[in-house]
Structure 1
């Protein structure tokens, strides 16, 4: 299982249930990696997207036992999600609480590090400070709309 998210300089990922940045190159990168695989998200993330992501198995984890969706699978326990995923490729796409819940099951984090800072109210686990993870791959620096960013792949040691 992998985590895939974009973060600002302070590991911020969102504000008021919205992404901080919308970079076309990063959205394409996300799509290219997750297409044909399982994406795991919390209810708030699903609702901020507004619908299931196409050509992916959408899994939503929520405590609300009455929550139903026509275009995504709804689970109420981590164990049920883990069982469903099995050995298939799966990406945890947010939010921060869902990442924290699945972190023990993830061996890789694909992070878009954006060299900018916005007012965030939601933050991702800081892999730079986690002794269990190390950077295995780092892209060149890209720029879009005067915003610089790069892709980092962290792997569990």
Structure 2
């Protein structure tokens, strides 16, 4: 299973329910990576999307503790086990965890590939992602040339779990 995330220098991912920054090329790559695939997110992430709606052209799975939560165009699950049961219907390589923090924390042990946009900047943030550079289970296997968006520098990194089960 995959995860996809954009982080700053402190491995921060968001502030007050929003992404730290919107980089058009990063959005394009996110779309390219996930179109036609399965994306798994928490309720807050879904509600931060445009129109608070599921993303077009993907199977959207939303995890929430609220048993009454419903959203048109998405599969709503209420436990990690229920999400995993739903994911059994799909090829694991087609499944992407897209956030937020608690989703990444729950699913990181189940993922083998991490697509990370690393932004060389420090933002004010209240949500974070585990630093894969300091995690001995993970190694960076690819890194793009440095990209720029106005005065921001960033790279695309691919991390792979060292010992896949």
- For Structure 1 versus Structure 2, the TM-score category normalised by the shorter chain is over 0.9
Equivalent residues of 1:96, 1:125 under 8 A apart: no
Alpha-carbon distance between aligned partners in 2 of 1:29 and 1:97, rounded to the nearest angstrom: 23
Q: Is the partner of 1:40 in helix, strand or coil?
A: strand
Q: How does 1:40-119 map to 2 (within 5 A)?
A: 40-49=40-49, 50-86=52-88, 87-88=90-91, 89-119=94-124
Provide the aligned C-alpha RMSD in A. 0.8
Structure 1 runs not aligned, ≥5 long: none
1:80 Cα shift? 1.6
Equivalent residues of 1:136, 1:153 under 8 A apart: yes
1:4 Cα shift? 0.2
137, 148, 154: which one aligns with 1:149: 154
Q: How does 1:28-43 map to 2 (within 5 A)?
A: 28-43=28-43
132, 137, 162: which one aligns with 1:132: 137
Q: Is the partner of 1:33 in helix, strand or coil?
A: helix
Aligned residue pairs, count: 157
1:15 Cα shift? 0.4
1:117 Cα shift? 1.2
Q: Is the partner of 1:71 in helix, strand or coil?
A: coil
| TM-score computed with the length of structure 2 as normaliser | 0.93
Structure 2 runs not aligned, ≥5 long: none
Alpha-carbon distance between aligned partners in 2 of 1:63 and 1:132, rounded to the nearest angstrom: 30
